[in-house]
Amino acid sequence: MAEKRSMVSMLSLAAWLAVLLGLAVQLLILVVKIAAGGRPTSLQVFVDVASGVTWSALVCSGIALGTIAARHRGVIMGVLGLVSAPVAWAAAKGVQRGVQWMLGAPLETLGPLVYQIGVAKTLEYAVLGVVLGRLIQTSRSTLPIHALIGLATGAVFGGAILWLNHSHAVAAGSAMPAARVAAICANELMFPVGCAIVIYFVARFADRRSALERLAAGGG
């Protein structure tokens, strides 16, 4: 029973932190778009926030569940990243299209680019899960190190995602607007940083709670 309560508490913490992360990143993207000359409509902002928060809540919470593992934490968090990323990506796109449909906006076309980005994000969060899962078992698990790992992961996979967008734009005979380039860079760099920070705090909470439970049970 205590273990179940502990899991619920950690999942709740991870979900709330992930929702706040999603909102913060979407606010940052909005500011970056406007600074780069974009003029997003209120409808587009609403759609982006709904999609972004869905993605954030599912993928970060999914990986953070692995922090409760006592053994093979890195492998478990990697597997959770491998599973939760495509689920979160599909859910985010589903929410996006659902909101667009309800508001009478044109539906986004689910072409090859959407699936290619989904694959890139699946690999990204599997890697992030493995690395963070191994890190939080060591004394090097600090907030700055988590942020740096998130930034490095975002730079590598975000670069690939930016290249995919550019390639598809060139193939279609068009150029990517500066606002879109800026938004992609902000999202793909800052979200992995935020997710790594969320996992840091959830892991610290999990470790502290386990220590308190051992003390309460007289285990020292």
pLDDT at position 216 is: 46
Q: Model confidence over 5-48: pLDDT tens digits?
A: 666 777 788 888 999 999 999 999 999 999 988 888 888 888 88
Q: How many residues does the chain have?
A: 220
The backbone region for 40, taken as left when phi is positive above 0, alpha when psi lies in -120 to 50, beta otherwise, is beta
The phi, psi pair for 156, rounded to 5°, reads -70, -55
pLDDT at position 4 is: 59
pLDDT at position 118 is: 93
Distance CA 100, CA 30 (A): 18
Name residues of the chain where pLDDT drops below 70: 1-7, 69-71, 207, 209-220
pLDDT at position 209 is: 58
Domain count, the chain: 1
pLDDT at position 71 is: 66
pTM (2 d.p.): 0.87
pLDDT at position 214 is: 44
pLDDT at position 220 is: 46
Domain containing 30 equals 2-216
Residues with Cβ < 8 Å from 168, sequence gap 6 or more? 111, 112, 113
Query: Do 92 and 86 meet the contact criterion of CB atoms below 8 Å apart?
Result: no
Distance CA 10, CA 53 (A): 19
Annotate 133-192 with DSSP letters as a single string. Answer: HHHTTSTT--HHHHHHHHHHHHHHHHHHHHHHHHHHHHHTT----HHHHHHHHHHHHHHH
Distance CA 133, CA 18 (A): 17
pLDDT at position 213 is: 47
Sign of CA dihedral 138, 73, 146, 164: positive
